Chains A and B, each alone.
Chain A
Amino acid sequence: MSWGKSSLTRLAPRSSNQFVAEAAAPRRFYAVASGATRFQVFNRRAKWLQKERAASNLEESRIADYLKDEAAIRLTERLLDIRRHFPRALDLGANSCNVAKALVRENPDPDPDVTESPPLSTRIGELIATDSSEARLYRDADQEFNDKISLTRQVVDDEETIPFEPESFDLVLSSLSLHWINDLPGVLSQINSILKPDCPFIGAMLGGDTLYELRTSLQLAEQERRGGMSPHVSPLADVRDVGGLLQKAGFKMLTVDVDDIIVDYPDTFALMQDLQAMGESNAILNREMGPIQRDVLLANDAIYRSLHGNPDGSIPATFRIIYMIGWREGEDQPQPLARGSGQTNLKDILEKKE
């Protein structure tokens, strides 16, 4: 009970001046965080638990990997454009090492003229995969693809602090995990600092209109059944935001593009079950605890079907994936020309073509 005692003595007024000074003391901040305030949106611990639980059901979690595998394949295809060897690469937020799985694929080049291309893993010396969830990271550790790539798994306590030396990686990849980060600007600038000069970061995250069908129908269902709503689908970064964020983090030569993957499900229950098996359940901090009321689920299924349903009775779910490429600043890097230094009028060229 030392806490009770000491707080009692602290509160006992000896002289009025002293009382004010000591009572104010616990409120003083000794270290002030630099930069902007960190907003807490997601409950990281809840997310970690969801991932661990999802990965512990091997069968369901492997079946629900379709989205992550597809995103990883599309992400790694972007490496084909960079003709380089990467001695040391990092996969940040690796999930179940979907990126490594995509890297060892035979003939990764989708160009029909190139009939045979070596797996991308031949261009990567060593891949380090980090994730906060151990069960998820080691889920596929006994699979075949592990032998074809030099892969090191590393469990990190907190994905928002990257535990690596500055300027130690030739490539940083991240596939479908950045959308659960609270402090996205902070993590991006950490990524920038662990990259060697003139080395790329290639990331994919869910953003924008992802699951907008579920978002709208759940809102309507809760509004009608309960007279109010609570957040069920995460707030996500938009394409516009991502460009700005990368620039703010110090990346150069940015490329940002979007890709919609639309998946059809038999009903909303199958959709939600799959989201759970992916470990992508709701983890917003101020969400309502406990499961969604059954009345709301019932109403949601009917509304989803009427509002968005396909003619054949299935329901579509949109996953909007934002791909981003940013380069760490380096010497001899191509620089954009100064604004207004263009000699040719673009309008003339475009009009001539027609």
Chain B
Amino acid sequence: MNPQTTRRPIQKVSTAVAQCAVEATAYGKCIVADYNDVTKDKCAREFLRLKDCYLVRYYPVFFTL
């Protein structure tokens, strides 16, 4: 068990998320704009953009075939 070679799933998530800084900032801005009044799916549009970006980075193999 060499820590350099074993990667936990969360580290893969972290690497994928790091490549979506633009989308993450847009989503963050939408929430922080009025964080006293956050309701379900308030920033759904921004979130889906973030998630699209994340999924492409997390499962690259499905999107390059």
Question: Which residues of B sit under 8 angstroms from A290, Cβ to Cβ?
Answer: none
Question: Which residues of B sit under 8 angstroms from A227, Cβ to Cβ?
Answer: 39-41
Binding site for B on A (CB under 8 A): 59-60, 220, 223-227, 266-267, 269-270, 272-273, 294-295, 297-299, 301-303, 305-307
Let me know if A307 and B32 touch, CB within 8 A: yes
A227→B54 CA distance, assembly (Å):
22
CB contacts between A and B, total, < 8 Å: 74
16 further A-B pairs in the complex, CB-CB below 8 A; given A273-B8, A305-B24: A60-B3, A224-B39, A224-B40, A224-B47, A227-B39, A269-B10, A269-B11, A269-B13, A272-B10, A298-B13, A299-B27, A302-B23, A302-B31, A303-B28, A303-B32, A307-B28
The secondary structure that dominates the B interface is helix
Contact among A266, A273, A299, A305 with B10 in the assembled complex (CB-CB below 8 Å): A273
A225→B18 CA distance, assembly (Å):
20
Let me know if B18 and A298 touch, CB within 8 A: no
Chain B residues 38 to 52 lying within 8 A of chain A, measured CB to CB, are 38-43, 47, 50-51
Binding site for A on B (CB under 8 A): 3, 8, 10-11, 13-14, 17-18, 23-25, 27-29, 31-32, 35, 38-43, 47, 50-51, 54
Question: Which residues of A sit under 8 angstroms from B10, Cβ to Cβ?
Answer: 269, 272-273
Nearest-CB distance from B30 to chain A (Å)? 9
A273→B9 CA distance, assembly (Å):
11
A267-B18, A305-B28, A306-B25 are known contacts. Are A298 and B51 too (CB-CB below 8 A)?
yes
Let me know if B14 and A302 touch, CB within 8 A: no
Question: Which residues of A sit under 8 angstroms from B11, Cβ to Cβ?
Answer: 269
Contact among A60, A224, A297 with B41 in the assembled complex (CB-CB below 8 Å): A224
